[in-house]
Amino acid sequence: SLWRVTVTPLEQSDGRGAVCVFEDLTEQEQIGQVRRDFVANVSHELRTPLTALIGFIETLRGPARDDAAARERFLDIMEREATRMTRLVRDLLSLSRVEAQERQRPTEQVEVQASIQGVLAILRQTIDEAQVRVVLEGCKTPVTVPADSDQLGQVWQNLIENAVKYGGAGKQVTVRVTTNDHDPMLRGPSVRVDVVDQGEGLDPVHIPRLTERFYRVDSHRSRRQGGTGLGLAIVKHIVNRHRGRLKIESAPGQGSTFTVILPR
Ligand code: ADP
């Protein structure tokens, strides 16, 4: 821990008395450190694709100038890198917006299953390309929660996209919606959404860190699949804003389950 100690001699005490103030700066120091790490990470994440882009521009101007096949290949890579930067900037903006609104109560009434179905429609192509089957197991009756509908959609989108991405081709992703009339943790009625995949699963040591910004278990894989490392950090902030809970269960070889529980 880090302490600041200020010693002020007492007046009129012949130099024999003093006031000592001990301040515990540990928490402030940690917040400062988190902020510095974040800026360093963002800079690194942006510099990597930029360096690649500049390298390819130079190659296109020089050695690859008259090689049509190489030119096409390099342009593909450049497009991918530029897309990745766009996605990173988009996720950074979403994260800062969500953080800024974290103390505002959401005001809309959103039907959970309709919100999930909307996201599945948006992800249709991604799901088909990944050759994954997504099954929605809903409840019989509609379930409504106080929410920000865009943000709630973002939660399902990030979790389902991950399940599809890390679940693997030929596998199934199950999205299950259940309700509880008295959730002991939330002290009231709740709705629970489980996003279950049949992927490789995760070593439990990683679980507590998954919602940290830029934390990735396998950064090559995440990058190759277009990940920014911010998806779960965004989910965590949105769920906090909705006064809900996020649970992650996973074991190597047994797939993963990401659960969101929201008050209704
Ligand atoms: P990314 O853009 O890298 O997917 P996320 O914040 O969404 O970033 O996830 C952080 C990390 O958590 C991922 O890089 C991956 O290692 C791990 N992860 C997330 N979802 C799953 C999942 N369904 N199965 C296995 N690992 C996952």
34 alpha carbon – ligand 1 mean position (Å): 20
Ligand 1 centre and the CA of 144: distance in Å? 28
125, containing H or E segment: helix 112-129
The ligand 1 atom at the shortest distance from the C-alpha of residue 255 is 24
pLDDT in tens, 88-145: 999 999 999 999 998 999 999 999 999 999 999 999 999 999 999 999 999 889 999 9
**How many whole angstroms separate alpha carbon 110 and alpha carbon 238?**
14
User: Whole-model pTM?
Assistant: 0.87
Of 262, 247, 177, the residue nearest 211 (C-alpha)? 247
Task: Specify whether the CB–CB gap between 53 and 81 falls below 8 A.
Answer: yes
Measured CA to CA, the distance from residue 62 to residue 74 in angstroms comes to: 13
Substitution candidate for ligand 1 out of 216, 218, 228, 236 with most atoms within 8 A of CB: 216
Closest CA to 215 of 234, 197, 199, 242: 234
User: In whole angstroms, what is the distance from residue 55 CA to residue 181 CA?
Assistant: 58
* Best mutation site among 164, 232, 247 for ligand 1 pocket (most ligand atoms within 8 Å of CB): 232
Q: What amino acid occupies position 153?
A: G
Instruction: Determine which helix (DSSP H) or strand (DSSP E) holds 227, and give its type and residue range.
Output: none
103 sits in which H/E element: none
For residue 256, give the nearest of 211, 210, 168, 196 by alpha carbon.
Answer: 196
Q: pLDDT tens digits for 133-192?
A: 999 999 889 999 999 999 999 999 999 999 999 999 999 999 999 999 999 988 999 999
